[in-house]
Amino acid sequence: MTLATDAASAAPGTRPGRRSVAPLLVAALVTLALVVASLFVGVYDLRADGGAAMFLITRVPRTLALVLAGSAMAVSGLVLQQLTQNRFVEPTTSGTSEWAALGLLLSVILLPGAGIATRMVLASLSAFAGTMVFLAVLRRVQVRSTLVVPVVGIMLGAVVSSLTTLIAISTNYLQLLGTWFMGSFTSVVRGQYEVLWVVAAVCVAIFVLADRLTVAGLGRDVATGLGLRYDRLILVGTALVAVASGVTTVVVGFLPFLGLVVPNVVSLLRGDDLRSNLPWVCLGGVALVTACDIAGRTVRMPFEVPVAMILGLVGAAAFVALVLRVRRRG
Amino acid sequence: MPTRQSHHRLAAVLTAVPLALVLAACGGTADAGTDAEGAETAAAATTVTIEDNHGSVEVPVDPERVVALDNHVFETLSAWDVPLVAAPKGIMGDGLWPGYTEDDAVLDVGTHREPNLESIVAAEPDLVIGGYRFSDSYDDIVAQNPDAVVIELHPRDGEEQSAELVRQVEALGQIFDREDEAARVVADYEQAIADATEAYDGESTVVGLITSGGEISYSAPVTGRSIGTLFPTLGLRPAIEQAAEDTSHGDDISVEAIAAANPDWIIVLDRDGAGVGEGEYRPAAELIGGSEALAGVTAVAQDQVIYLDPDFYLTEDIQAYTALYEQVAQAFTDAA
């Protein structure tokens, strides 16, 4: 629990909610700069003939998708971390994304004619069921040290994704799995991303629930003692995360580490108040995924490197750095 | 691109080591083969010595019990009415070669991802034509079937694809005593190439694409599987001058990069077209012809998009290439 205690003591006695807004403004400006840069990075010369049309067909949708998916996955990580009281949990370490993938594959096999909305609903339902299974298993686990919790999640995720692979092999979909679930914004164009707006609603709902989620992060007994309807909050929180993961998985694929690195960095820097951290986590998620996508678009022009690959690299490095930094201080 | 590059480098090292071992082993077997040949000239009437991917091999002529695993050979064997005792039905599609896939007497070797090598042993083959997707199983097949001759004839990496296809069908002609038929297949193939080369104006730029899972990726000239070989063979001008890395599944490319390159022609392999992924299948015609961003590209605007036969992904044989070159020649001629 070094991470948690360190983060809590990082801001002793301060009330983060009342802090000056100046740093947040700077963070917002930096994120905005990245978002604007994303609009102007690409192979097509916008000054050329048809540049304006191309801007609207590919650049704007892609950038909006980055903003929506980035904030949703980062915030989902934060919510899961509160619900499980563990800093290492996020949709890809709780099995949530793997369940969403299973739901998506099943929807494709069982309902071939279904539209993207049906797919999203099924992926989200499956993600919800999977996350509930994870939480139920956690309740029965006696040793709940920092590392056991994500290990349980990763194990469940591995079981589910091997089932997904088995189904894919027997139905000849294996080749497609990689394409579907590799997080990439390359194919995001007008008419392809609009369903992502659903996750904007998820973000708003999480902002509304922020205080209650913070209390839930203190544990079942404390939360219930403070008058919180704990079980219902767990359901609602899980449902929100499931929708965010389900929709993002269907549209862009897995975005590893996003929900892990961003909330942890924010907590390290600012302490643990969820409500005042939320805007930071949102901005951080957007900034990180946008920066990674811009890098993915530029390193091998005119080809692209999927954002998931860059996120994996950057995320893993950032996370190791975080852990080492905490240990040095401790 | 540090991850993929290092990944590839690692892969190169990992493959280089066993490759060196195999090559060394091959040197040994080749020598042994020549010795054996000298000793057993009497048997020469019923066997023929061919060069497979590992060196010289003595193969019985017109063997009775044949197992074929390489997708490149099914079309030829099927046309010659060569019966098989086992085949990888999982990767042979539906209805392409019903004589093999729908005959229960032909044992199923499964797919290259989950091969059932025991079925090969059970089939008691005289000859196993392995290779291509099953290359990784080569050593196991050789070890498990001591009484069978195991050969690999698929196009080798680093060799000119076109010559490799010819080499393959000529070797099959020798083995099954159908050298005239093999020569005809080769002649058709060369004629199709000559026609397509003739029809190409030498100026138009071309981009090769692969579609799968609703995504478009880039098939590189020369190295890119199937479409890539068209570039050197026909002397096509690529619209995007950049070496790609994922040569079998294509590189991630955005529609705007294709639009920016503004090719005169687009040649597309629809990888999901061959009956895989029926539900989620988004046809290449929809992905490319229906793309807003590509509407202004010369190739799309002037209807100069060549879609490969959807079964191409499963066949990739010399006959499929012949048909493709005929298709290309026709399209070029019509546009001129």
Q: Which of residues 38-97 of B touch A (CB under 8 A)?
A: 90
Chain A, residues 93-112, CB within 8 A of chain B, namely 108-109, 111-112
**A176 CA: distance to closest CA in chain B (Å):** 6
Among the residue ranges A80-94, A174-188, A194-208, B99-113, the one predicted with the least confidence is: A174-188
Alpha helices by DSSP H, listed for A85-147, are 96-110, 116-140
Residues of A in contact with B280 (CB under 8 A): 108, 112, 176
**The two structure tokens encoding residue B146:** 């001591």
Q: Which residue of B has its CA nearest to A166?
A: B114
Angstrom CA distances, A218 to A14, A89, B209, B246, stand at: 18, 16, 53, 48
Cβ neighbours of A50 in B, within 8 Å: 259, 296
Q: How many angstroms separate the Cα of A243 from the Cα of each of A88, A105, A182, A200, B225?
A: 20, 16, 19, 11, 39
Closest to B221 in 3D by CA, of B255, B254, B251: B251
Q: In this structure, are residues A290 and A70 in contact, taking their beta carbons and an 8 Å threshold?
A: yes
Q: What is the pLDDT of residue B51?
A: 86
pLDDT, tens digit, for every residue of B282-295? 777 778 888 888 88
Number of H helices, E strands in chain B: 13, 13
The DSSP output letter for B155 is: P
Contact predicate A121/A180, CB 8 Å = no
Alpha helices in B40-156, H assignment, sequence order: 74-79, 98-101, 118-122, 138-144
Is A116 at the interface with chain B, CB within 8 A? no
Q: Is residue B71 scored above 50 in pLDDT?
A: yes
- How far, in Å, CA of B272 to CA of B280, rounded? 9
Of B3, B252, B255, the CB nearest to A313: B3
Q: What is the DSSP string of B165-194?
A: HHHHHHHHHHHTT-HHHHHHHHHHHHHHHH
- B11-29 pLDDT, tens digit each: 444 444 444 444 444 444 4
With 90 as the cut, is the pLDDT of residue A189 above it? Answer: no
Q: Is B213 on the interface with A (CB under 8 A)?
A: yes
B45, pLDDT greater than 60: no
Residues B211-224: pLDDT tens digits? 887 788 888 776 65
B247, pLDDT greater than 50: yes
| pLDDT computed for residue A177 by the predictor | 81
pLDDT of residue B27: 43
- pLDDT value, residue B127: 93
Q: According to the model, what pLDDT value does residue A327 have? A: 62
* The pLDDT value given to residue B169: 93
Residue in B closest to A183 by C-alpha: B252
Of A43, A169, A180, Cβ closest to residue B260: A43
Please compute the mean of the pLDDT values over residues A296-312 and round it to a whole number: 88
What is the C-alpha separation between B300 and B262, in angstroms, rounded?
Answer: 9
pLDDT band at A142 (very low <50, low <70, confident <90, very high): confident
- Whether A74 has a pLDDT exceeding 50, the answer reads yes
Rg (CA), chain B: 21
Q: Does A303 touch chain B (CB under 8 A)?
A: yes
Q: Among the listed ranges A93-97, A317-321, B202-206, which one has the minimum average pLDDT value?
A: A317-321
User: What's the whole-number average pLDDT of chain A?
Assistant: 85
Residue A15 above 80 pLDDT? Answer: no
Note the pLDDT tens digit of each residue in B254-276.
888 888 889 999 998 887 765 54
| For range B187-211, the mean pLDDT | 91
Check residue A192 and give its pLDDT.
Answer: 80
How far is the alpha carbon of A93 from chain B, nearest alpha carbon, in Å? 22
Contacts of residue A178, Cβ cutoff 8 Å, sequence gap at least 6: none
| Residue contact A302–B260, C-beta within 8 A | yes
Q: Is the ipTM of this complex over 0.85?
A: no
Cβ within 8 Å, pair A58-B215 = no
Q: Calculate mean pLDDT across residues A223-232.
A: 87
Q: Give the separation between CA A272 and CA A9, rounded to whole angstroms.
A: 10
Q: What is the pLDDT of residue B325?
A: 92
Restricting to A residues 256-295, those with a Cβ less than 8 Å away from any Cβ of B are: none
User: What is the predicted pLDDT for the residue at A146?
Assistant: 73
pLDDT > 80? residue B90: yes
Q: Is the predicted pLDDT of residue B39 greater than 60, yes or no?
A: no
Q: What is the mean pLDDT of residues B315-320?
A: 89
Indicate yes or no: CB of A43 within 8 angstroms of CB of B256: yes
Please report the pLDDT score of residue B283 as a whole number.
Answer: 76
The residue of chain B with its CA nearest to that of A45 is B260
Q: Which one of B1, B212, B256 has the shortest CB-CB distance to A175?
A: B212
Sort out which chain A residues have CB atoms less than 8 A from B3's CB and list them: 305, 309, 312-313
Report the distance separating Cα A168 and Cα A166, nearest Å: 5
- Reported as a single tens digit per residue, the pLDDT across A27-71 is 899 999 999 999 988 888 888 787 888 888 889 999 999 999 999
Cβ–Cβ below 8 Å for B254 and A184: no
B residues 270-329 near A, CB within 8 Å? 271-272, 275-280, 291-293, 296
Q: Report the predicted TM-score, pTM, of the whole model to 2 decimal places.
A: 0.79
> Would you mind telling me the total number of residues written for chain A in this entry?
330
Residue B1 confidence class, pLDDT cut points 50, 70, 90: very low
* Chain A residues whose beta carbon lies within 8 Å of the beta carbon of residue B113: 169, 174
Average pLDDT over residues A176-203: 86
- The per-residue pLDDT for A186 is 85
Cβ–Cβ contact A180 with B under 8 A: yes
Instruction: Tell me if B252 and A303 make a contact (CB, 8 A cut-off).
Output: yes
From chain A, pick out residues whose CB is under 8 angstroms from the CB of B278: 112
pLDDT of res. A138: 87
